[in-house]
Amino acid sequence: MDFRQAARKRDSSWHNAPVPSFGPNSARLLIVGLAPGLQGANRTGRPFTGDYAGDLLYATLNKFGFANARFEARPDDGLELIDTRITNAVRCVPPENKPVGAEIAACRPFLSATIKAMPNLRAVVALGRIAHESLIVALGERPSRYGFGHGARHQIEGYSIFDSYHCSRYNTNTGRLTPQMFEAVFASVRAELAT
Ligand code: URA
């Protein structure tokens, strides 16, 4: 809270508040990110908008027909998600971009509510271990029963869960996640939704 209030004082034109989910509630696909980036969603108010992670995410979504091609990293760029909604496990930018357990737990009811508000939901992509674990708990299961791994798939409560390494600049710069690895996850999601 102090962190956010200080940020508000520093630049009152930034969003600096909980970032709402983006995309229609009627979607069959939900993507769960980690938390708003300081200069990304925390500045612009739209998930994955304004930092590197969004460049890779929205290009990939467009490639697999989950978004139009209008992404220009501005909330008024005309970007539309298709059959897809994006949310974050943590709703406010955390200090040092590293959310602590208490914050993740405090935000989990919002994740549960997001899931419950999606009547057609079939597939969920968890970006990174924190999103994966919070999602598993939100679905009433124990993370120890469902290991996180890039490309791992789980079936919980009728939902198909797809794990991916987070599309952060760090992960792509270090080669932990390549665009091809990321695309493979969304190719699997597309195949699942075609059934
Ligand atoms: N921006 C978001 O909204 N979420 C992330 O996980 C990373 C960047």
Query: Ligand 1 site: residues with CB under 6 angstroms?
Result: 33-37, 40-41, 47-48, 51, 53, 88, 127
Q: What tens digit of pLDDT does each residue of 130-160 get?
A: 999 999 999 999 999 999 999 999 999 999 9
CA of 115 to the centre of ligand 1 (A): 18
- Which of 14, 22, 31, 34 should be mutated for ligand 1, with most atoms under 8 A from CB? 34
**Is this model's pTM higher than 0.85 or not?**
yes
- Which of 71, 86, 88, 164 should be mutated for ligand 1, with most atoms under 8 A from CB? 88
**From atom 1 of ligand 1, which residue's Cα is the shortest distance away?**
48
Q: What tens digit of pLDDT does each residue of 25-53 get?
A: 999 999 999 999 999 999 999 999 999 99
As given in the structure block, the two tokens for residue 131 are: 């999103």
d(CA 168, CA 59): 14
d(CA 61, CA 65): 6
CA of 57 to the centre of ligand 1 (A): 10
List of domains in the chain: 2-194 (3.40.470.10)
CA of 55 to the centre of ligand 1 (A): 11
In three-state secondary structure terms, 88 is: strand
pLDDT value at position 9? Answer: 75
Q: Say if residue 10's pLDDT is above 90.
A: no
CA dihedral 127, 28, 58, 125 (to 10 degrees): 10
Of 119, 100, 109, nearest in space to 30 by CA: 119
CA of 146 to the centre of ligand 1 (A): 23
**Number of alpha helices (DSSP H) and beta strands (DSSP E) in the chain:** 7, 5
Average confidence score pLDDT of the chain: 95
Q: What tens digit of pLDDT does each residue of 78-114 get?
A: 999 999 999 999 999 998 889 999 999 999 999 999 9
Integer CA distances (angstroms), 129 to 63, 71, 132, 137, 162, in order: 24, 26, 5, 12, 12
d(CA 1, CA 23): 27
pLDDT value at position 1? Answer: 61
